[in-house]
Amino acid sequence: MTFCSKVHEQTRLIHGDTPCDALQRTPGPPIQRGSTVLLPTCEALYDGGKVTYGRVGLSTQRTLRDALRDLENADEAFLYPSGLTAITGTLLALLSAGDEVLACDTVYNPTRRFLAGTLARYGVTARYFDPADDAEAIRAMITPATRVIFLESPGSLSFEMQDVPAIAAMAKEAGVMTVIDNTWAAGVLFKPLDHGVDVSIQSLTKYVCGHSDVFMGLAAAKGEAAKLLAASSYETGWAVSPDDAYMAIRGLRTLRTRLAQHGAAALEVARWLESQPEVRSVMCPALPDDPGHAIWKRDFTGICGLIGAVLEPASEVAVARMVESLELFGLGFSWGGYESLAIPVDPQLKARSHKTSYPGPLLRLHIGLESVDDLIADLRQGLDTLSQDDVSRQRLRAAG
Ligand SMILES: *Cc1c(COP(=O)(O)O)cnc(C)c1O
């Protein structure tokens, strides 16, 4: 470049050009890093309609947003640095002091903490409805202050299904916005915006990224809600890195393939668990006996890998020992990655407003992409530790 040949080495090192038009074409998009966006004219600096600063996202984030907007059939998709910030960012965008949220009692516990903490300080109140409440029962709870109904279906700990289309239609009539945490369906198995919901949120950390190594969140919205989210996400300044956006785009390539495998394996494990003597019941809406089966069959096109199992009564210690004995199921929070996970969830149910109890301990399983036979063998040896524990307890009782 002639400009470069005229200046000193120090300047040349700083101004060496990056010719964008020389990018080679690859199957994946380029990862474009940049805070400053170089503009051709002074007029362009103050053109509100254009990208003039990197925080709002450059080409890599835009590629991801377009793909997620189309996946959720939304007007616009907004990215956040985690699923939780997608939830808190959406609530901040839609709510004002004096407003009230009606939330399903199955919501993700950090959502509950945000409502009780930050939003309560800002003058927003929250009430919880029972996941079994239908649209009419929720309508009866609406007051002039109600602004948002927050749903999660199925609940990610206890798998209750809500009649989302009926609740969304009722809310629309009442002038209330509906928001759903759609992480379980990964934007594929259920399309909330097609059923009248205003905002569909996902923790992209789970299935979209899919490899337990990236945090990211999505709020996909239509109409008025999309306008409010656009203004609020610009004001609050949440940003995701182009590298993480690239990882999410890569996850999308295999999302449907992975989900199909997770779902088929989860159904196989669920059916197997139903026939085990240590298992009282299995929570999976694809099972015909599941209380949410009819709604699931009507609204969803499949299941993901997340299911629940209520065990026959056993001590907390015995359940801990059983979960710790599993070799292929990791012990840890989160889900949606390629690997299987198992946790006891009873402590998390204590936060609910409507007390929930089951006849035995509740386990949550994430069925990963391992061989189903190996996973079933691992669960069988885990369940064996429970019956061994029963035997030793009976012996102790007999001896005492
Ligand atoms: C994990 C999870 C979130 C939060 O997502 P992060 O990306 O971990 O912040 C929200 N909702 C549900 C249902 C989740 O499982």
**312-334 pLDDT tens trace:** 999 999 999 999 999 999 999 99
Domain 255-399 has CATH 3.40.640.10: no
Q: Could you give the CA distance from residue 330 to residue 6 in angstroms, rounded to a whole number?
A: 61
Using alpha carbons, select from 159, 155, 107 the residue that is nearest to residue 128: 107
pLDDT score recorded for residue 3:
59
Using alpha carbons, select from 58, 56, 35, 19 the residue that is nearest to residue 242: 58
The answer to whether residue 390 scores a pLDDT higher than 90 is no
- Residue with more model confidence, 216 or 47: 216
Residue with the smallest CA separation from ligand 1 atom 8 is: 83
CA–centroid distance, 83 to ligand 1, in Å, is 5
The answer to whether residue 65 scores a pLDDT higher than 60 is yes
CA–centroid distance, 261 to ligand 1, in Å, is 21
CA–centroid distance, 212 to ligand 1, in Å, is 12
pLDDT grade, residue 18 (50/70/90)?
Answer: low
pLDDT in tens, 293-319: 999 999 999 999 999 999 999 999 999
Exactly one of 80, 108, 128, 207 is catalytic; which is it? 108
The answer to whether residue 181 scores a pLDDT higher than 80 is yes
The answer to whether residue 393 scores a pLDDT higher than 70 is no
Model-level pTM?
Answer: 0.94
Residue 108 contacts residue 156 (beta carbons within 8 Å): yes
Q: Which ligand 1 atom is the nearest neighbour of the CA of 204?
A: 7
Verify whether residue 207 is a known catalytic residue. no
CA–centroid distance, 84 to ligand 1, in Å, is 6
Exactly one of 33, 47, 53, 55 is catalytic; which is it? 55
Per-residue pLDDT, averaged over 82-104, amounts to 98
Mutate which of 79, 80, 179, 183 for ligand 1 pocket (most atoms within 8 A of beta carbon): 183
* Residue type at position 278: E
Verify whether residue 206 is a known catalytic residue. yes
Boundaries of CATH 3.40.640.10 in the chain?
Answer: 58-253
Q: Could you give the CA distance from residue 16 to residue 49 in angstroms, rounded to a whole number?
A: 29
Share of the chain above pLDDT 70, in %: 94
Pocket-forming residues, ligand 1, beta carbon under 6 Å: 82-84, 108, 156, 181, 183, 203, 205-206, 215, 217, 334
Residue 338 contacts residue 366 (beta carbons within 8 Å): no
Cα-based angle 352, 354, 360 (whole degrees, multiple of 5) = 80
181 pairs with which residues across the strands? 152, 201
Verify whether residue 172 is a known catalytic residue. no
Residue with the smallest CA separation from ligand 1 atom 4 is: 83
Domain 58-253, CATH class in plain words: alpha beta
CA–centroid distance, 14 to ligand 1, in Å, is 42
CA–centroid distance, 203 to ligand 1, in Å, is 5
pLDDT in tens, 274-298: 999 999 999 999 999 999 999 999 9
Using alpha carbons, select from 198, 113, 118, 103 the residue that is nearest to residue 153: 103
- Residue with more model confidence, 6 or 245: 245
pLDDT score recorded for residue 356:
87
Exactly one of 163, 181, 290, 299 is catalytic; which is it? 181
pLDDT score recorded for residue 1:
46
Residue 232 contacts residue 56 (beta carbons within 8 Å): no
Exactly one of 206, 222, 352, 364 is catalytic; which is it? 206
The answer to whether residue 2 scores a pLDDT higher than 60 is no
Mutate which of 205, 213, 238 for ligand 1 pocket (most atoms within 8 A of beta carbon): 205
The answer to whether residue 21 scores a pLDDT higher than 80 is no
CA–centroid distance, 86 to ligand 1, in Å, is 9
Mean pLDDT of the chain: 94
pLDDT in tens, 332-369: 999 999 999 999 999 999 999 998 889 999 999 999 99
Residue with the smallest CA separation from ligand 1 atom 11 is: 108
pLDDT score recorded for residue 244:
98
Q: Could you give the CA distance from residue 202 to residue 85 in angstroms, rounded to a whole number?
A: 10
